[in-house]
């Protein structure tokens, strides 16, 4: 195929495939933040690709420069949007917990965009090549943006492959597919921009769009075959997975079938015990009064979370604090679903249960949980704030779970 035609076919394919994947992803779950950020990513890729066509067919150098700046807007913002997508996909939203993190993520792109539109630092001019039409000449600002792009993609790859290594089952496959989709443009760029020119083979600018069709194809397979974007957190109750399979020894030693009462004002220590277990191959379940979706800020990515709150959240499992029977049923079904393998249940909201249900009902809930965990070789971790409970009630809690209790060894 002649280079001129190829330089039109490849960007047009990238444009239509990006548009299709974006529309499809938004259709699957329009309210999910992961899906929206992915749509933003494919939108800027589509912008770059259609602007690339405009550069090739421009009648004048001025028109070609306008299209070049528009293309720059696409490939400059492609980097932070993809990294943003990866941070959400790999459940590392805590990186974005501070608003300044967004400035660090998108700030360089905004600066490069200003360079591209307002100065000649980014693009130093337009050159003409007979086989591909007009081509922009990259200046020092553009070279800096290319380095920024490479570093950001390497960081994205690090997060993806680190999470893939910690994953199991379907999620591992999903992460592997996303990683493969990222490797396609990276390896393609190295080959077309570096290796082929070193061999004396002229690419005539085909590289900019030749690297994206494989990426779009792999992402389409991940969406269709491996259900990328369509496994909300509620599926964790149906597809039990440990949080990770670290090969190191766990810091805290828990005996099968025993319960553990941790009396601390904040749940940081009890959470550390829980996380230590679920990252060493133990199935976990977190029962909390945090706002729906907030548990992921603490590094929980595969472990099911039961939010006891009045607020509902799409895709999350929530129950009112008063629905203790339903909570016990959910816990029972989950533990039975893992078929005899050890699990650990973490309850961090006992005071809230007392406030809504009364101390008697809350204690009955706690006793049933301890009994069920004991019968199924599982552990129960209960965190209470001693400053919010009278000494008599603390003594009652200790007495109720005493047949199943044990001191944590580290």
pTM: 0.58
Same domain as 344, residue 361: yes
Q: Which range has the worst mean pLDDT, 150-159, 228-237, 368-377?
A: 228-237
Reported as a pLDDT band with limits 50, 70 and 90, residue 97 is low
Same domain as 47, residue 185: yes
**Of the ranges 138-152, 193-207, 262-276, 389-403, the best mean pLDDT one:** 262-276
The total of other beta-carbon atoms located within 10 Å of residue 217's CB is 14
Same domain as 111, residue 132: yes
Same domain as 71, residue 192: yes
Q: What is the mean pLDDT of residues 9-14?
A: 81
Per the domain annotation, does 258 fall within a domain? yes
Name the percent of the chain lying above pLDDT 70.
83
Q: 199, 231, 263: which is the final residue of a domain?
A: 231
Q: Which range has the worst mean pLDDT, 30-39, 153-162, 268-277?
A: 30-39
Asked if 223 and 241 count as a contact pair (C-beta separation under 8 A), the reply is: no
- The predicted-structure confidence for 272-322, as pLDDT tens digits, reads as follows 999 999 988 899 999 999 988 788 778 787 788 999 987 766 567 889 999
Q: 231, 257, 284: which is the final residue of a domain?
A: 231
- Residue 131 pLDDT > 50: yes
CATH number for the domain including 242? 3.40.50.300
Q: How far apart are CA 81 and CA 290, in angstroms?
A: 28
Same domain as 313, residue 215: no
Q: Which range has the worst mean pLDDT, 6-20, 60-74, 123-137?
A: 123-137
Same domain as 202, residue 76: yes
- The per-residue pLDDT for 1 is 43
- How many domains does the structure of the chain reveal? 2
The total of other beta-carbon atoms located within 10 Å of residue 384's CB is 25
Same domain as 106, residue 27: yes
Q: Find residue 126's DSSP bridge partners.
A: 136
Same domain as 281, residue 171: no
- The predicted-structure confidence for 348-393, as pLDDT tens digits, reads as follows 999 999 999 999 999 999 999 999 999 999 999 999 998 888 888 9
- The per-residue pLDDT for 31 is 67
Same domain as 260, residue 191: no
- The per-residue pLDDT for 203 is 59
CATH number for the domain including 112? 1.20.1070.10
- Residue 67 pLDDT > 60: yes
Same domain as 178, residue 267: no
Same domain as 246, residue 383: yes
Reported as a pLDDT band with limits 50, 70 and 90, residue 74 is confident
Same domain as 11, residue 107: yes
Residue ranges making up the domain that contains 103: 3-231
- Residue 346 pLDDT > 80: yes
């Amino acid at each position: 195929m002649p280079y001129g035609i190829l330089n039109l076919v490849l960007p047009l394919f990238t444009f239509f495939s990006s548009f299709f994947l974006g529309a499809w992803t938004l259709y699957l779950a329009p309210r999910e933040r992961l899906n929206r950020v992915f749509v933003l990513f494919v939108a800027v890729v589509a912008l770059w690709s259609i602007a690339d066509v405009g550069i090739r067919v421009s009648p004048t150098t001025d028109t070609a420069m306008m299209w070049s700046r528009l293309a720059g807007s696409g490939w400059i913002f492609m980097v932070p949007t993809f990294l943003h997508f990866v941070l959400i996909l790999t459940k590392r939203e805590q990186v974005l917990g501070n608003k300044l993190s967004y400035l660090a993520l998108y700030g360089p792109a905004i600066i490069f965009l200003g360079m591209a539109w307002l100065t000649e630092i980014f693009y130093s001019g337009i050159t003409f090549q007979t086989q591909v039409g007009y081509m922009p000449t990259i200046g020092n600002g553009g070279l800096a943006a290319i380095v920024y792009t490479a570093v950001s993609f390497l960081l994205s790859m690090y997060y993806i492959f680190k999470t893939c290594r910690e994953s199991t089952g379907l999620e591992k496959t999903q992460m592997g597919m996303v990683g493969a989709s990222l490797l396609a443009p990276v390896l393609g760029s190295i080959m077309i921009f570096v290796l082929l020119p070193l061999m004396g083979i002229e690419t005539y600018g085909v590289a900019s769009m030749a690297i994206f069709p494989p990426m779009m194809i792999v992402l389409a397979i991940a969406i269709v075959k491996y259900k990328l974007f369509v496994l909300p957190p509620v599926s964790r109750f149906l597809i039990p997975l440990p949080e990770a399979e670290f090969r190191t020894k766990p810091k805290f030693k828990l005996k099968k079938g025993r319960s553990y009462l941790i009396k601390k004002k904040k749940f940081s220590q009890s959470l550390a015990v829980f996380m230590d277990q679920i990252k060493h191959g133990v199935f976990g379940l977190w029962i909390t009064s945090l706002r729906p979706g907030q548990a992921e800020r603490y590094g929980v990515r595969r472990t099911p979370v039961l939010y006891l709150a009045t607020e509902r959240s799409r895709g999350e499992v929530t129950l009112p604090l008063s629905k203790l029977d339903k909570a016990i049923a959910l816990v029972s079904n989950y533990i039975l679903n893992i078929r005899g393998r050890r699990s650990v249940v973490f309850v961090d909201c006992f005071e809230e249960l007392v406030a809504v249900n009364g101390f008697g009902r809350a204690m009955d809930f706690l006793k049933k949980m301890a009994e069920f965990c004991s019968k199924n070789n599982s552990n129960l971790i209960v965190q209470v704030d001693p400053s919010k409970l009278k000494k008599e009630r603390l003594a009652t809690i200790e007495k109720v779970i005493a047949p199943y209790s044990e001191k944590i060894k580290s």
